[in-house]
Amino acid sequence: MPDPRSALLRWQFDLTWSLFEYHLERLGPGDLLWEPGPLCWTVRRDGDGRWVPDWADTEPDPVPVPTAAWVTWHIGWWWSVALDHLRGHTPREGEEVRWPGPEEAADWLRGLRTQWHAVLDGLAGQDLDAPAAFPWPPDSGLTVEHTAAWVNAELMKNVAELGQLRLLRAASAHARRSDPPTGAPGGAGQPT
């Protein structure tokens, strides 16, 4: 019988993933690179053709609005590093985690899901109680169970961001197609 704590973490993850999959299935390459405002963080090709995320070591003020591409890179980055920690591997640095591009991003994230399932399914009892050093300092007193719960929470947050970006782009495109001309009922200068 699986450890009840692992089972709960897996259930919570699977629920969050079902919401994520809803958006992943509907995201197209144009959605991923759409910039929702004048100040955005995205991923861009470098001189070698690799996708490189915008990043700052110190959070800028104001914080740029991320593109859906940047959010998917961000998920891939923190998730890859969490997997490294829980597998006992040397954690990768941010620049080592490569975004595969708009055509492959969803499959990349689905691959991380498969890896995460394998890690979650292997956690029980003492494994969950072991000290964890990610995403907090090693002396925090937090455990692997906390890390797994954090992955679920971080994914929930990023899924909400991704869904909001997808819906905002769709609504913006719809508004441009259906804007009434100025002076028409409901148009600029008319009471609604």
At 138, is the pLDDT very low, low, confident or very high (cuts 50, 70, 90)? confident
Number of C-beta neighbours around residue 61 at 10 A: 5
3-class state of residue 177 by DSSP:
helix
CB 6 within 8 A of CB 145: no
Domains and CATH numbers, the chain: 4-174 (1.20.120.450)
Per the document, the length of the chain is 192
Q: Considering only residues 88 and 187, tell me which one the structure prediction assigns the higher pLDDT.
A: 88
At 99, is the pLDDT very low, low, confident or very high (cuts 50, 70, 90)? very high
Task: Provide the token pair at 111.
Answer: 């691959």
Mean per-residue pLDDT of the chain:
89
Quote the percentage of the chain above a pLDDT of 90.
Answer: 73
Give the whole-angstrom CA distance, residue 182 versus residue 189: 7
**Nearest Cα to 2, choosing from 117, 123, 114, 119?**
123
| Matching residue, tokens 């200068």 | 189
Q: Please work out, in degrees rounded to the nearest 5, the angle formed at the alpha carbon of residue 57 by the alpha carbons of 51 and 63.
A: 85
pTM: 0.87
- The amino acid present at 188, given as its one-letter code, is A
